[in-house]
A and B are shown apart, each in its own frame.
Chain A
Amino acid sequence: MKKIIAFVIALMCILSLSITVLATDSSSNSEFVVQGSSLNHVTYENIVALYEHWETNGYPDYVGFVYSTDGSSNNLTVLLVEDDGTAENKIRSMLISDAGLSFGSAKYSYNELLAIADEISSEYLEKNNLFYGLGVGWGGAGDGAPGFGNSGKEPRVVVGVDKSILTEYTKKFEKLYGDRVVVFESEAFVREDLRDVTKDKNTGLSWLLIPMMLLVVAGIILFSIRTRLIPAMQTTKGTIITQSVPVSRKETIAAIKNSEVEPSDKVFNSILRRISENDQ
C-alpha cells in the first residue's frame, strides 16, 4: 500500500513537472508584449492587476522582474532596467492605486532573458538529453540570496544540466551570454527509484493514469484555446475585413517566415550566363 501511495505521489509530481515545463515553454514562445505608447493610457486597479496583465500578454522591455515583496500576493516589487524614473512614473501612471508597489533595479530585461532561454531551449535542451531543466527566475546564488545580481533578487536564465557536462556548458554559456545564464548541476526528472516503482506497479494502476491524463489534456486544450489567436481577415493591401484580434508571437514569426519572396527564375540563368562568359 505504501508503495502504491509513493507511486501516486511520484506520478503526480512528474505530471505537475510536465505541466510546469509546458507552461514555461509556452510563455517563452508566445508572449512578449509591450503596450504601445498610444495604448499606455490603459489603467489597472493596482500592481497585482498590472502584473496579471503582463503575465498574460508579456512584459515591457524595461521590466527586469516582478516578485512578491513579503511573500503575499498583494505587495509586489518591480525591478526596472536602467531606469531614470521614467519607467517608474509610467507604471505608477498606469495604476489607479500604487499601494503595495515597490521598485528595484535589474541589469537585464526579462524579455532579453526569455529570448536567451528560448535560444538555449531550441539549440541545446531539445537536442541534448543531458539538459534537464531551463527557466528564467531565481535559482539561488548559493550565498543565501534567492536570486542574483547585487540585490540577490534579480533573475537569470537558470539551466540545469547533468554533472558530466556542467563544466563544459558553464564555460560555453559564460562565453556566449555572460552572466545572463547560470548553469547548475541537476538530475533528471524521473529517478531510477521511481522508474522501478512504475515498472512494478504500472499495470495495476493504469486506471489512475486515465483521469490524470484527461486533466493534462484538458489543461493543454484550455491553454491552446487561450493562446490560439485568429488573425483578422484582411485584403492584400491590409484593409480590415473583420475586427482586429490579437496575433501571437508564434504567428508573427510564422508570418515573417511565410513572407519570404522568391527571386525570378531569370536570376539563376543570368548567373550561369555570366559564369560562362567569364569562363570563355
Chain B
Amino acid sequence: MDNESLRNKLIALQSGDKIAFEDIYNHLKTPMYTIILRITRDRSLSEDILQEVFFKLYKSPPKPTIRKPRAYLFQMARNLAIDHVRKLPQYANWDSVENTVHLPLDDFSTKMDIDHAMKTLPLRECQIVSLHINGGLKFREISDMMDIPLGTVLWRYQKAITQLRSILSGGVT
C-alpha cells in the first residue's frame, strides 16, 4: 500500500469506514509490530503499543492533507514505543539507551540468527534498519523522523548492515 492508497483509506476512515481501518491494520500490523518490538524487546508490551497506535488512529485519523501518511503512522508508533520504554526504570536515560546494545559483540566466530544479530546493534541503528527494511520508509523520511542528518542515517544503515552481515556469516566476511 503506497502513500496514495493509504491516504485514500485514511479519508475513508475519517468517515468511519471500519473496513478501511481493517485494511490499514492488516497492511501495517506486521512491519509496525516488528519495529515496536525491536525497540521494546517485549512482545506483550509491543502488542499493547500496537493496540494503542491503532486505537488512536481510529479515534483521530490524520488529516488527508498529510504528505507522507506512512511515515506519519510509523512515527506515531515509534514515539509511543519510546514513551513506553522510557517509563521503565532501566531506560530512564533515553540518549544512552539508544547507544546501548542488548547482546555483546565479542565473538565473531559464534553464528547467530538474525534476531540475535539485530540485538547486537545499538538501538538507534536497529531502528534505522527496521524502519527502512520492515517499514519501507525512505532514508529521507527516517532522517526527518529521527531528526538526524540524512548522511548520518545512511552511514549508520551501512554500518549496521555490514555488522549484521558479518555476524550472520560467523565473521567470515
Interface pairs A-B: 4 shortest CB-CB: A244-B170, A247-B168, A263-B33, A240-B111
The answer to the question of A267 belonging to the interface, with a C-beta cut-off of 8 Å to chain B, is yes
Contact yes or no, A232 B170, CB < 8 A: yes
Contact yes or no, A253 B161, CB < 8 A: yes
- Report B-chain residues with C-beta under 8 Å of the C-beta of A247: 165, 168-169, 173
A112 nearest in chain B by CB position? B154
Contact yes or no, A263 B50, CB < 8 A: yes
Between B58, B163, B172, the greatest number of chain A beta carbons within 10 A of the residue's beta carbon is seen for: B172
The answer to the question of A70 belonging to the interface, with a C-beta cut-off of 8 Å to chain B, is no
The answer to the question of A44 belonging to the interface, with a C-beta cut-off of 8 Å to chain B, is no
Q: A33-B162, A119-B138 are in contact. Are A238 and B111 (CB under 8 A)?
A: yes
> Which single member of B25, B138, B154, B165 contacts A249 (CB below 8 Å)?
B165
Do most interface residues of chain B lie in helix, strand or loop, or is the interface mixed?
helix
The answer to the question of B155 belonging to the interface, with a C-beta cut-off of 8 Å to chain A, is yes
Q: A256-B118, A256-B134 are in contact. Are A180 and B162 (CB under 8 A)?
A: no
The answer to the question of B93 belonging to the interface, with a C-beta cut-off of 8 Å to chain A, is no
- Report A-chain residues with C-beta under 8 Å of the C-beta of B171: 36, 38-39, 244
Interface membership of chain A positions 226-241, coded 1 if the CB is closer than 8 angstroms to chain B and 0 otherwise = 0001011010111110
- Report B-chain residues with C-beta under 8 Å of the C-beta of A278: 55, 59
Contact yes or no, A268 B166, CB < 8 A: no
Q: A39-B171, A264-B47 are in contact. Are A244 and B164 (CB under 8 A)?
A: no
Interface membership of chain A positions 102-124, coded 1 if the CB is closer than 8 angstroms to chain B and 0 otherwise = 00000011011011100100010
The answer to the question of B112 belonging to the interface, with a C-beta cut-off of 8 Å to chain A, is yes
Contact yes or no, B162 A255, CB < 8 A: no
Contact yes or no, A252 B150, CB < 8 A: no
Please give the distance in Å from B115's CB to the nearest CB on chain A: 6
B32 nearest in chain A by CB position? A263
Between B30, B54, B169, the greatest number of chain A beta carbons within 10 A of the residue's beta carbon is seen for: B169
- Per the bound structure, the CA–CA distance linking A177 and B153 in Å amounts to 12
Total A residues in contact with B, Cβ cutoff 8 Å: 58
- Report A-chain residues with C-beta under 8 Å of the C-beta of B116: 238
A-side residues, CB < 8 A to B, are 32-34, 36, 38-39, 57-58, 61, 108-109, 111-112, 114-116, 119, 123, 176-178, 180, 229, 231-232, 234, 236-240, 244-249, 251-253, 255-264, 266-268, 270-271, 274-275, 278
Please give the distance in Å from A114's CB to the nearest CB on chain B: 8
- Per the bound structure, the CA–CA distance linking A273 and B114 in Å amounts to 35
- Report A-chain residues with C-beta under 8 Å of the C-beta of B50: 263, 267
Contact yes or no, A263 B133, CB < 8 A: no
Contact yes or no, B33 A112, CB < 8 A: no
> Which single member of A39, A238, A245, A256 contacts B112 (CB below 8 Å)?
A238
- Report B-chain residues with C-beta under 8 Å of the C-beta of A258: 114
Interface membership of chain B positions 39-75, coded 1 if the CB is closer than 8 angstroms to chain A and 0 otherwise = 0000100110011001100110000000000000000
Contact yes or no, A275 B25, CB < 8 A: no
Q: A231-B168, A267-B50 are in contact. Are A115 and B157 (CB under 8 A)?
A: yes
> Which single member of A39, A115, A240, A253 contacts B154 (CB below 8 Å)?
A115
B171 nearest in chain A by CB position? A36
Contact yes or no, B168 A275, CB < 8 A: no
The answer to the question of B130 belonging to the interface, with a C-beta cut-off of 8 Å to chain A, is yes
The answer to the question of B102 belonging to the interface, with a C-beta cut-off of 8 Å to chain A, is no
